[in-house]
């Protein structure tokens, strides 16, 4: 089964995302653009994932996820096969967040929303800073909950595993890398890797059209994660 996906989307919980990145707006835009599955991957938090899942219902597959910034300032996409596992993982991330408070007038709001797009709260800790966890420790925690880790936007000059470390540690067992644009040079350098293209959408217009396709055995979150294992 071939499905169209965008597996890196931020909601209004991420301070760098537009305030109109609400659960309903994201789901409806994804449907307008003809997507079959999306992932919600806010910075160091998952507070809006449940609302997006409720809005989507059976109209759109939503993969529970989070984009975590490690101590090395590497962005890693962390995906889980159910919401409960993500919530348990979120508890670990909360304990490792810095104590720096967000300044909405500088960084943007960090809105928690329900399935009606109502603001039910706002995270006080700055979510776009590094958590106090090294990359290997983070990968271990994700896999403890049967999650999958994909290094984010590895073709970018900042906050990627290649920009920060200069290489992909072989002992971490990565098989899939996320790219945002052209990856021909990466495919030549890392031919053993598989690649997925995502939008890293911070605004509604950035959500992908039907341009990234994956082949899955059935239409389920578990099968999307199997694909991401590479």
Q: What is the pLDDT of residues 48-58, one digit of tens each?
A: 999 999 999 99
Gap between the Cα atoms of 53 and 49, Å rounded: 6
Mean pLDDT (the chain) is 96
Residue 212 DSSP one-character state: -
Q: Is the pLDDT of residue 82 over 70?
A: yes
Q: Quick check: 150 and 178 in contact, CB under 8 A?
A: yes
Gap between the Cα atoms of 175 and 170, Å rounded: 10
Give the number of residues written for the chain: 230
pLDDT attached to residue 182: 67
pLDDT attached to residue 45: 98
Using one digit for the tens of pLDDT, what is the confidence trace for 149-167? 999 999 999 999 999 999 9
pLDDT attached to residue 12: 98
Q: Is the pLDDT of residue 181 over 90?
A: no
pLDDT attached to residue 117: 98
pLDDT attached to residue 188: 85
Where would I find the H helices in 19-66?
Answer: 23-32, 49-56
- pTM metric for this prediction: 0.97
For helices 83-96 and 135-144, give the axis angle rounded to 10 degrees: 150
Give the pLDDT band of residue 176 (cuts 50, 70, 90). very high
């Amino acid at each position: 089964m071939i499905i169209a996906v965008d597996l890196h989307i931020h909601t209004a919980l991420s301070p760098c995302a537009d305030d109109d990145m609400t659960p309903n707006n994201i789901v409806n835009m994804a449907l307008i653009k003809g997507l079959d599955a999306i992932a919600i991957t806010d910075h160091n938090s998952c507070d809006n994932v449940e609302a997006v899942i409720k809005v989507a219902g059976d109209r759109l597959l939503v993969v529970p996820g989070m984009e975590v910034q490690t101590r090395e300032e590497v962005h890693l996409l962390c995906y889980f096969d159910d919401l409960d596992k993500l919530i348990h993982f979120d508890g670990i991330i909360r304990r490792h967040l810095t104590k720096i408070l967000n300044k909405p007038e500088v960084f943007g709001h960090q809105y928690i929303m329900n399935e009606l797009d109502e603001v039910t709260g706002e995270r006080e800790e700055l979510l776009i800073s590094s958590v106090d966890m090294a990359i290997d420790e983070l990968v271990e925690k994700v896999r403890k909950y049967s999650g999958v880790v994909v290094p984010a936007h590895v073709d970018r000059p900042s906050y990627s595993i290649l920009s920060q470390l200069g290489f992909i540690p072989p002992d971490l067992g990565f098989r899939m890398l996320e790219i945002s644009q052209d990856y021909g040079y990466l495919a030549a350098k890392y031919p053993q890797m598989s690649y997925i293209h995502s939008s890293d959408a911070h605004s509604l217009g950035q959500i992908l059209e039907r341009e990234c396709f994956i082949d899955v055995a059935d239409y389920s979150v578990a099968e999307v994660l199997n694909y991401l294992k590479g």
